[in-house]
Structure 1
Amino acid sequence: MSRRIIVVGGGAAGLMAAGQAAEAGAEVVLLEKMAQPGRKIKISGKGRCNITNSAELPDFLARFGRNGRFLRQCFQHFFNQDLIRFFEEWGLATVTERGGRVFPAQGGAGDVVAVLQNWLETLPVSLRPGSRVDELLIEDGCVRGVLCNGQQVLGGAVILAAGGSSYPATGSNGDGCRLAAEAGHSIVPLRPALVPVETDGGLAARLAGLHLRNVGVRLLINGRKQVDAFGELLFMKYGLSGPVILTLSGLIGDALRAGAQVGLLLDMKPALDEQKLDARLLRDFAERRKEPMASVLRGLLPEQMVPVCCAETSLAAERLAGEVTAAERKRLRGWLKSIPFTVTACRGFKEAIITAGGVSLAKVDPRTMQSKLCKGLYLAGELLDVQADTGGYNLQAAFSTGWLAGRSAAAQQRREEENES
């Protein structure tokens, strides 16, 4: 039987797995169904590619929730500083930005893919684009290869790294989970994650295109506060997007699927409590008492929000600031601290950054990424049921699980060859 390793999927996990297996001495065939590998990497981080985060291991793992402990061992083998060193050794310098986010210092996502491809070209890796894997070839509980484009491709190990279902135009359509299920693995239902949300009413549409950098967001489920968040937000014609919304979208989606009512309250002045904001308003209105409200509000809000604020609070734009009553000031203060939105839906896989759910971790060995159900089958990347916030965490998990799967598969192949000799 051929001792080569077959990698299914040319994303972050697959590219890393193929290269690490080859560096460890294996012959590798990388099957990618798209015309080029790394298509999802190229659109990550809005084309900048947030490759990892500088957070320490405990904080990093915490971003993945209860399933984060599964990643501990692969992170101990290959973690953020290892990934940074890898890219820098191949000529791609990095820079750490706000929130510990790590990006290429120059260029962007295309350069990340180019580095990975250049690396693979120096190794015994046969990249085969346009290769759709339809079936795993399994015999007596061991994987023997795959059925690809109607032809058998035999190998001693298969690494499944075919991604989730997000951004299907890049090739991620759930094939990896389907193949894993055929090998006996349980699949936690797939759902879009880190995704924008839709809201009712026309308020978001009136503010479409407006980007807020420092906004507070309170999530309400059935009228009760669940969590407060802070960050960047973007108004869309259909609702809300931006990092702070994407981070909350997992909780929002779970609540909507459970039939709950979901609301969001936007705080335009999160650094000021009600008392301090009232003092600010009193001061501004006194100092600028002869100016119209539209002018005064431009010192408090982005210009695009001023007419919306006037309409929502029933304050005429031409009203002089010195004429505003205490009741009107209270109404304005309440709106600035709690702009209400009712969430009606999360957007779909076409706009989801990642896929939640995937192959259950119960039957995957975290020490090697090998299946506990099918010898020689390894699983890595987004098809696993591990998901985190935005900030480089998910891409690091893909690279790290790919690293461990590639190294483990090559080591197992080497042991079998030694036993046969």
Structure 2
Amino acid sequence: MKQKVVVIGAGAAGLMAAGQAAMRGKDVLLIDKNARPARKVMITGKGRCNVTNDCDNETFLKNVRSNPRFLYSAIAGFSTADTMAFFEGRGVPLKTERGGRVFPVSDSAADIVDALSSFASDAGVPYRTGRVARIQAGEDGVEGVVLEDGERIPCTDVILATGGQSYPGTGSSGDGYKLSKMLGHTVARIRPSLIPIETKEEFCKEMQGLSLKNVTLSVTKGKKKVYSELGEMLFTHFGVSGPLVLSASSHIDDEKMDEYRLHIDLKPGLSPEQLDARLLRDFEKYKNKDFFNSLGDLLPRKMIPVVVRLSGVEGTRKVHQITREERRGLVELIKGFAITPKAFRPLNEAIVTAGGVSVREVDPKSMQSKLCRGLYFAGEVLDLDAYTGGFNLQIAFSTGFAAGTHV
């Protein structure tokens, strides 16, 4: 009789693990709460799916925020290049964009989901809709799983790939943490990562809908700069969002929020001296206009009232009356537009969940539990998270491959 393996969770990690285990001759059953697999993958990258990052293993590990050393073996066993070869081998052409981000040429996450789903089904993995209430284990390890309706499914091995606790509508509702705790595992504090930020300043609401491109967002903690990157961000009714903000959030400790500040360089391509010269040219051009009407060539329309107010210069002042000191203050404001973070948005809006099953209790080569024989982990249920750019999905693929290979 073939070894019976139950994979709980049909996301990126679960589908990879199920397919790999079945290809190695295991009798695999895939169970998920949703009628269709990989619901969360469908919404990644705004529906485009940033599937991995075209980088070497060292660069990948530098972009893993929590417990990167744990992933040495996993990324060596299934690298970003392996991920790209996997999808292209299954008929999904890929392209590489800024920062090494890899997307399907079609810009459709559905193509990635179809490739993962067909990989598991082609390997002969049946798909079952249901919710696992507990994993049964004895002295010798895993013995079976019990579904919510009371049905027991005997098995020798379980791969737990239930995801985190963000986007619960896609099925990531934290079930894996409860199942792990029942078997004695430690779960590190669950917290949001890659999440929009609520701000103290009301002026963000004034600029709601304004998207800034080619700006530099920096995060400081006290006097220390902890993050800085060029890219895009968005003002919202609650504060700020967009790619730069999501990345910045992973550098902020939500329990010490009042120690951080966000700074936007609205003109990163200009030095302060160059920006001052640019302002002088604009002021000469509009020397007989009010200050309020002189910034249209430099700043987005929605931002002008806010910048004028923060500058301390009356908006109705004639441009030729503005002093050198006031102009220098304006340069400082544009090069370091400051925002005070107040809180992260709710956990269910996070792209990734930080925290999870302690990796100290998991074998990094096989992903098998050190506490319960036959129990394996893959993906976001583990205490692993990374910055934006395709790195979090790569964690799912690498750990899923390791679990499916070693089970």
> Kindly tell me: are residues 259 and 316 of structure 1, through their superposed partners in 2, closer, same or farther at Cα, counting changes over 3 Å?
closer
> Kindly tell me: are residues 223 and 69 of structure 1, through their superposed partners in 2, closer, same or farther at Cα, counting changes over 3 Å?
closer
- One-letter code of the match for 2:267? K
Contact 2:2 2:27 in 1 (8 A): no
1:311 corresponding residue in structure 2: 309
1:83 corresponding residue in structure 2: 83
Contact 1:262 1:344 in 2 (8 A): no
Q: Equivalent residues in 2 for 1:182-331 (5 A)? A: 182-222=182-222, 225-252=225-252, 254=253, 256-258=254-256, 260-317=258-315, 319-331=317-329
Contact 2:257 2:342 in 1 (8 A): no
Q: How far is 1:334 from its partner?
A: 2.0
Q: In structure 2, what is the Cα distance between the partners aligned to 1:384 and 1:66?
A: 10
Q: How far is 1:35 from its partner?
A: 2.0
Q: Which is worse superposed, 263-272 or 172-181?
A: 263-272
Q: How far is 1:368 from its partner?
A: 0.7
**Which of these residues, 393, 399, 402, is aligned with residue 401 of structure 1?**
399
- One-letter code of the match for 1:199? T
Q: In structure 1, what is the Cα distance between the partners aligned to 2:302 and 2:356?
A: 41
Q: Which is worse superposed, 106-115 or 309-318?
A: 309-318
1:368 corresponding residue in structure 2: 366
SS in 1 for 2:123: coil
Q: Equivalent residues in 2 for 1:55-74 (5 A)? A: 55-65=55-65, 67-74=67-74
Q: Does 1:6 align with 2:12?
A: no
Q: In structure 1, what is the Cα distance between the partners aligned to 2:36 and 2:335?
A: 48
- One-letter code of the match for 1:307? P
1:342 corresponding residue in structure 2: 340
Contact 2:93 2:104 in 1 (8 A): yes
Q: Which is worse superposed, 109-118 or 270-279?
A: 270-279
Q: For residues 46-73 of structure 1, what are the alpha-carbon distances to aligned partners after superposition, in whole Å with 9 as ceiling and x for unaligned? A: 1110000012111110111461121111
1:109 corresponding residue in structure 2: 109
1:146 corresponding residue in structure 2: 145
Q: Which is worse superposed, 314-323 or 175-184?
A: 314-323
Contact 1:2 1:156 in 2 (8 A): no
Q: In structure 2, what is the Cα distance between the partners aligned to 1:261 and 1:16?
A: 41
- TM-score w.r.t. the length of structure 2 is 0.95
Contact 1:218 1:227 in 2 (8 A): yes
1:31 corresponding residue in structure 2: 31
Q: How far is 1:314 from its partner?
A: 4.0
1:178 corresponding residue in structure 2: 178
> Kindly tell me: are residues 94 and 133 of structure 1, through their superposed partners in 2, closer, same or farther at Cα, counting changes over 3 Å?
same
Q: Which is worse superposed, 261-270 or 350-359?
A: 261-270
2:53 corresponding residue in structure 1: 53
Contact 2:7 2:28 in 1 (8 A): yes
- One-letter code of the match for 2:212? L
Q: How far is 1:172 from its partner?
A: 0.7
Contact 1:166 1:192 in 2 (8 A): yes
Q: In structure 1, what is the Cα distance between the partners aligned to 2:379 and 2:158?
A: 14
Q: Which is worse superposed, 234-243 or 217-226?
A: 217-226
Q: In structure 2, what is the Cα distance between the partners aligned to 1:261 and 1:67?
A: 24
1:159 corresponding residue in structure 2: 159
- TM-score w.r.t. the length of structure 1 is 0.92
1:413 corresponding residue in structure 2: none
1:414 corresponding residue in structure 2: none
Contact 2:47 2:107 in 1 (8 A): no
SS in 2 for 1:251: coil
Unaligned runs of 5+ in 2: none
1:333 corresponding residue in structure 2: 331
Q: Which is worse superposed, 280-289 or 15-24?
A: 280-289
Unaligned runs of 5+ in 1: 410-421
Q: How far is 1:337 from its partner?
A: 1.5
Q: How far is 1:262 from its partner?
A: 2.6
Q: In structure 2, what is the Cα distance between the partners aligned to 1:186 and 1:206?
A: 44
Computed over aligned residues only, the root mean square deviation of the Cα atoms, in angstroms, reads 1.8
Q: In structure 2, what is the Cα distance between the partners aligned to 1:141 and 1:281?
A: 74
Q: In structure 2, what is the Cα distance between the partners aligned to 1:390 and 1:100?
A: 11
Q: In structure 2, what is the Cα distance between the partners aligned to 1:8 and 1:250?
A: 28
> Kindly tell me: are residues 397 and 225 of structure 1, through their superposed partners in 2, closer, same or farther at Cα, counting changes over 3 Å?
closer
Q: In structure 1, what is the Cα distance between the partners aligned to 2:87 and 2:295?
A: 47
Q: For residues 206-228 of structure 1, what are the alpha-carbon distances to aligned partners after superposition, in whole Å with 9 as ceiling and x for unaligned? A: 11111112222232334654443
Contact 1:197 1:346 in 2 (8 A): yes
- One-letter code of the match for 1:140? E
1:15 corresponding residue in structure 2: 15
Q: For residues 114-167 of structure 1, what are the alpha-carbon distances to aligned partners after superposition, in whole Å with 9 as ceiling and x for unaligned? A: 1222222222201002x1001011011401121113111111210000011011
Contact 2:142 2:158 in 1 (8 A): yes
Q: In structure 2, what is the Cα distance between the partners aligned to 1:226 and 1:14?
A: 34
Q: How far is 1:289 from its partner?
A: 2.7
Q: Which is worse superposed, 22-31 or 271-280?
A: 271-280
> Kindly tell me: are residues 258 and 321 of structure 1, through their superposed partners in 2, closer, same or farther at Cα, counting changes over 3 Å?
closer
Q: In structure 1, what is the Cα distance between the partners aligned to 2:236 and 2:285?
A: 35
Instruction: Calculate percent identity across the aligned residue pairs.
Output: 44
Contact 1:223 1:261 in 2 (8 A): no
Contact 1:204 1:235 in 2 (8 A): yes
Q: Does 1:133 align with 2:132?
A: yes
Q: In structure 2, what is the Cα distance between the partners aligned to 1:260 and 1:325?
A: 34
